Structure 1
Amino acid sequence: MKSSSPAMVGVGQMIVSLKAQLFLGYWGLGESGYPEKRLNHLLSHLELTQSVYRQCRSFPQTGVIWGVAWGGLKPETVPVDTGSTEVLLTLSRSGVKPDSPDSLFPADAWIRLGEQSLCLGREPFGRSPLYWLQIGQVVWFASSLRLLLPLLEHPQISIPAVYGYSCFSYVPTPLTPVAQLWAIPAGGEQTWRCHAAGLTEPAWARSLEWQEAPVQIQDETVAIDHLQTRLKDAVHRQIADLGNEPVGVFLSGGLDSSIVAALLVQAGIQVRAYTLDFGDLIPEHSYAQTVADFLNIPLIRVNATPRIVRRALIPTVQALDLPFGDGVTIPLFLLGQAACQEVQVVFNGEGGDQLFAGWTNKPLIAAGVYAREDPLGRDFADQYLHTFHRLWGYERQIFQPEIYTQVSQLHPQEWISEALQPVFSTSLLHRLRRATLMLKGAQNIQPRAVSLGQAHGLQVRSPFCDLPLATLAFQLSGELYLRGACEKYILKRAVESWLPPEIVWRTKRGMGVPLTSWCLHELWHDLGVWLNPERLRQEGIWQPDIAARIVAGGLGTLQGRRMGENLWLLLIWQVWRNAVLGVSHSRSTLDHPFWLPPWLGQPFLRLHRNLEQW
């Protein structure tokens, strides 16, 4: 992996280092009075369960002003004003400390406030988000998007963000769903500087590139030995601060979470496992029980019935700054809700698929042939977009005309082009791993998991999100990852003595959530509430009959599980608008089939589709 150190303070400068769980602040040029009053006003309206501290500074010679408020410090650790010229404010929601003081990344996210510059940075796995907004010559920043929303008099939806969400089920960075608010991408720093004419345009610099190592490990025995050592080291780094208290593991029964549970048990940690129970629709909990019995750890089954999911819908969305349209989001919220009753730290297996080329990469192996034929890789980018199985390609059918005109000028390939750059990897598998780490991992899986944990007061730790382990992963030959039809081959060989063979070698298809069954049965009427045609008509984004079209099979290949996934994506967006932006329910109508019982509404839609030729 290629890396460069984040901007450091020059010789002779003093640093005050603050560790926080949240922060809000500003930096720029002008008079200090107004921004400082605005900061205090914003803080006065927050409902916080922790103490909040603040520092404000002004530099008359340069005209630079800054102020920052942070929460999460014990009073005795709050630094006094030392007259320092730079403040380093770090955010680590996982609680894991850097390997050393000169670590490449000082925390999950950080801010460097100085007399001459402002730097906002994030580590490459994307655990903690970071947002900013520029008003005149002042840049505002925060660890939560909602901390910045009051600075906008009339927040407006970002149309590119809506389009990105429809393509991926998450909003691609640096976009946010709110126009004028921006997200810092994972894996680098964004810097503003001041000069006589004002603030410079922000400059983005990546601190680390996920890329194939020039020398690849080909020998299977050597790879297994190195991999076993790095896996154990990754877990030991994340348990170094733990005492005798038990920890939780979100155990799906899949390979990655089972490996984490096994390593924690090997390290002598008290482990309590939590798994989801979807009833008879998806009996995955039996695999988790097999692992728990093998490791001799207690397993708590967390019910995820449609009724429970409906109750958790709004609380889950409120726990997140951004809309995450994957079906696993609310079930993960329920796991955290159960775990926080017994533990303060939870571990998961997130990152394993991205790091070791999991099952989602299989369809793209064939697509690599087209990428080699096309030097621009256009076909390959389109194939990668298809792996999200969302609404890309259906723009005319899903968006109202005015929005369609705008999104038709956008090219979602641009949001994934950097991640798919072939210059960093000659091997197709390494190229795919780079892409999934930067896209599905850093923009979706990791920030979602950490934010959901924080909502329950949990520190969420992911041993697969470990730089030394990731470095090794890019040193292993691509042939060691995929052996015939067996994905993650080298990882399975490394851990086969730690777990039952039926867990290690079974075919995995990701966490299944019965979204289609829910939407066509227990949550049928909820579709008529959240995706009500009159409501959508007034909001002006989605086609008013989009839910009916999807259920009727009027959007081509969106059948089976894909039907439920995309209905859920739309539903979550609407809940997010209501819960986060505070957009109230508009007038509803009954010009839809969702007020009918499902057994009557669904055949009605099929008949309507045939008559209207959707």
Structure 2
Amino acid sequence: MCGIYGLVAPSRVPLARPDLVLGMGPRLRHRGPDGSGALRRPHVIFGAERLRVVDLEARADQPFEDPAGRVWLVCNGEIYNSAELRRRCPGYAFRSRSDVEVILPLYLERGVEGLAQLAGMFALALWDETTQTLVLARDRAGEKPLFYAAADGTVAFASEVHPLVECLGLPRTLDQDALSAFCTLGYVPQPRTMFLGVRVVPAGSAVIVQPEGCRTFTYWDPAQIEPVDRPPHAEDELREVLRGAVRRQLAADVPIGVFTSGGVDSSLVAALAVEALGPDRMLTFTARFTAPTYDESSHAHALSRHLGTRHADVVVDEPALALALDTITSRIAEPIADPAVLPTWLLARRAREQVTVVLGGEGADELFGGYPTYVGHALSPGFANLPSPLRWGLTRAIHALPDSTAKVPLSALLGRFAKGAHLPWRERHLAWFGTGLDPAALGIAMPALDQLYPVPKRNSVLAAAMLLDYTSYLRDQLLVKLDRATMLVALEARSPYLDPDLTQFALRLDPALKVRGLTTKLLLKRAARGLLPGRIIRRRKRGMSVPIASWLRRGLLPEAQRLLAPERLRRQGLVSDVYVGKLLAEHAGGRANHARALWTLIILQRWLERWAPEA
């Protein structure tokens, strides 16, 4: 795992200020504190800050170059099938045991087509001196980040946004389309960032820069996989594919742990990790919320006792959340509106005291049908077809339910369902997953639905919604949150459910095997039998939610009032101060729950304040 960076002039014009490029390294050292390196030519610089995970010797520090000095490589991530790929290259002179070094002979043999042979999470840059070609590529799901920017005949890249804008002096022009998407979704879909001049390399793709121009090569498109399979022994096959994915991702020369919540996704990963390594070598970690209705640590402790792991938890209270908020918003040049980034950072900081790598359950909900929205999509046509008086009566009764401080309040779920059930499926998906901000109150043009949610190539709404979440919410929100929160403390997070074999298996399945009636993750729960206690398998999905609503009525209220002050909002012209004042007053007074919308605005204001973009 690394922080990588570089600057290239494909036309071989000497770089004007190489010292500015090398300044990106220290700004990425939190991602890789164990070793640094750089390769330089007059027209190209490659650098890396390394977190040593596989082959802990300095010989495995990056950048790598092939024996002839033709091709350079920097890579952030892990290649889980590196041993298999090495066996295909008996004549190549490897200098280390590093898993990523195998990318060099693969590129020399197959070019960018070789990317499809990699099984892992990665963001990489290759420089081919012979052809004057820069290749920037990312893994299939988009687990590892890679940003780039073009200016004055050069192309710069880095693992995070801030080295590009702080070191190279790139304009901080605000991308209005990205801003409108953020206000609608709570995240910015690839390839945009909030800065107009900085872009993200698309997941499953490579950006190829040559003297004659730039093009994008896509080596992985999940929409091409048809969800029609109904294997006769699907749960047994799933269990074995998941077992293989976990075992591959346990490869490391450093201690490993698992983030657990007591839910089925992370518990399955933990059980299979213990099966492979034994309980003495496995540590588990969970967040312990002081808000009783949000705390699931007792379930994680029960899992630890069942598996025999060494277990630790971290207390999450309002002071801890405030510290996390200050840290995240001051150090990450992307607005991350998922409140779970805060406990994720707190958990990562605690885990880093004992381990260098953690496994988690990311991807299971999108691939195996875990969200309540999937049940909502299945029920919506029936609800919309009810006689109007009955439908409106039920809607009024739902809206009359009292607000709840529960982690996943039934009143909120039913309210969102009733609000969006009559809409076409993409509109209702946005109503259920979006920020809740009223477009009419925003002083910016809102993006078209096709820009936010391109129509997935699927025959059923259920399959389309799961594919949409895999290619948007997971990629652009959840994986961003996980990478930035963990890498701030140099902790490598791995996601076995995103293993290529497991992902393809899941994408091929008929969605009826995943969601049936009110039951989500049907097949995954069946595969867990014999590995987990029944009480864990039967638990309702809750996720790592944060008590933002109550925090906004107590300790966070003064900061919300400062950031959302009417004069500040009027000066910016981004959102109606009257509208926001109404939201804040109703929420603070307990008359309504506007936590999602208010939190989005707070995160946006923190980002604007810290990173000072130009209009």
Q: Give the shorter-chain TM-score range.
A: 0.7 to 0.9
Matched, 1:86 2:71: yes
Aligned position for 1:76: 59
Aligned length: 529
Structure 1's 95 and 317: CA in aligned 2 closer, same or farther, altered over 3 A? farther
Aligned position for 2:434: 389
Alignment of 1:333-348 (within 5 A): 333-348=345-360
Paired residues of 1:327 and 1:515 also in contact (CA < 8 A): yes
Paired residues of 2:227 and 2:511 also in contact (CA < 8 A): no
Paired residues of 1:218 and 1:476 also in contact (CA < 8 A): yes
Aligned position for 1:161: 178
State the 1:43 CA deviation: 5.2
Structure 1's 469 and 45: CA in aligned 2 closer, same or farther, altered over 3 A? closer
Aligned position for 2:410: none
State the 1:39 CA deviation: 2.2
Alignment of 1:595-606 (within 5 A): none
Counterpart amino acid of residue 457 in structure 1: A
Counterpart amino acid of residue 139 in structure 2: E
Provide TM-score, normalisation by structure 2.
0.79
Counterpart amino acid of residue 141 in structure 1: F
Aligned position for 1:600: none
Q: How far does the alpha carbon of each residue in 1:271-311 deviate from its partner, in whole angstroms, 9 at most, with x for none?
A: 22222222223232232233223223343232111122112
Give distance in 1, aligned partners of 2:583 and 2:79: 43
Q: How far does the alpha carbon of each residue in 1:319-356 deviate from its partner, in whole angstroms, 9 at most, with x for none?
A: 53411101111011111111111211111111110110
Q: 32, 51, 54: which is aligned to 2:14?
A: 32
* Structure (1 or 2) with the greater helix fraction: 2
Aligned position for 2:550: 517
Paired residues of 2:282 and 2:310 also in contact (CA < 8 A): yes
Aligned position for 1:601: none
Q: How far does the alpha carbon of each residue in 1:80-120 deviate from its partner, in whole angstroms, 9 at most, with x for none?
A: 7855443333221x575646436626451112223343221
Q: How far does the alpha carbon of each residue in 1:535-585 deviate from its partner, in whole angstroms, 9 at most, with x for none?
A: 33333423334542213449xxx9855x11221121122222334x1689x
Q: 576, 579, 583: which is aligned to 1:543?
A: 576
Paired residues of 1:24 and 1:143 also in contact (CA < 8 A): no
Q: 499, 509, 513: which is aligned to 1:480?
A: 513
Matched, 1:258 2:236: no
Aligned position for 2:122: 108
Counterpart amino acid of residue 565 in structure 1: R
Paired residues of 1:516 and 1:560 also in contact (CA < 8 A): no
Structure 1's 164 and 432: CA in aligned 2 closer, same or farther, altered over 3 A? same
Paired residues of 2:39 and 2:45 also in contact (CA < 8 A): yes
Give distance in 1, aligned partners of 2:518 and 2:157: 47
Counterpart amino acid of residue 41 in structure 2: R
Counterpart amino acid of residue 388 in structure 1: F
Give distance in 2, aligned partners of 1:33 and 1:25: 8
Give distance in 1, aligned partners of 2:350 and 2:484: 16
Aligned position for 2:600: 569
Give distance in 2, aligned partners of 1:142 and 1:333: 21
Q: 454, 461, 465: which is aligned to 2:498?
A: 465
SS in 1 for 2:606: helix
Give distance in 1, aligned partners of 2:360 and 2:270: 8
Give distance in 1, aligned partners of 2:363 and 2:151: 36
SS in 2 for 1:497: coil
State the 1:265 CA deviation: 1.4
Counterpart amino acid of residue 362 in structure 1: V
Give distance in 2, aligned partners of 1:367 and 1:510: 23
Structure 1's 435 and 533: CA in aligned 2 closer, same or farther, altered over 3 A? same
Structure 1's 28 and 364: CA in aligned 2 closer, same or farther, altered over 3 A? farther
Paired residues of 2:6 and 2:44 also in contact (CA < 8 A): no
Q: Which runs of 5+ in 2 are unaligned?
A: 86-113, 385-422
State the 1:494 CA deviation: 0.8
Q: Using the TM superposition, name which of 147-156 and 432-441 deviates more.
A: 147-156
Paired residues of 1:130 and 1:142 also in contact (CA < 8 A): yes
Paired residues of 1:166 and 1:390 also in contact (CA < 8 A): yes
State the 1:130 CA deviation: 0.9
Give distance in 1, aligned partners of 2:483 and 2:123: 13
Paired residues of 1:367 and 1:383 also in contact (CA < 8 A): no
Give distance in 2, aligned partners of 1:478 and 1:37: 53
Paired residues of 1:381 and 1:413 also in contact (CA < 8 A): no
Counterpart amino acid of residue 39 in structure 1: V
Provide TM-score, normalisation by structure 1.
0.79
Give distance in 1, aligned partners of 2:356 and 2:157: 28
Structure 1's 24 and 105: CA in aligned 2 closer, same or farther, altered over 3 A? farther
Aligned position for 1:356: 368
Give distance in 1, aligned partners of 2:83 and 2:509: 23
Identity %: 24
SS in 1 for 2:211: strand
Paired residues of 1:211 and 1:430 also in contact (CA < 8 A): no
Give distance in 2, aligned partners of 1:370 and 1:83: 67
State the 1:240 CA deviation: 2.6
State the 1:368 CA deviation: 7.9
Give distance in 1, aligned partners of 2:203 and 2:304: 34
SS in 2 for 1:191: strand
SS in 1 for 2:9: strand
Counterpart amino acid of residue 596 in structure 2: E
Give distance in 2, aligned partners of 1:116 and 1:538: 47
Q: Which runs of 5+ in 1 are unaligned?
A: 1-18, 59-64, 372-377, 585-614
Q: 45, 55, 66: which is aligned to 1:67?
A: 45
Give distance in 1, aligned partners of 2:350 and 2:28: 26
Q: How far does the alpha carbon of each residue in 1:463-502 deviate from its partner, in whole angstroms, 9 at most, with x for none?
A: 1110001111123222211122111111101112211212
Give distance in 2, aligned partners of 1:511 and 1:283: 9
State the 1:233 CA deviation: 0.2
Counterpart amino acid of residue 284 in structure 2: A
Give distance in 1, aligned partners of 2:383 and 2:207: 35
SS in 1 for 2:604: helix
Give distance in 2, aligned partners of 1:193 and 1:27: 9
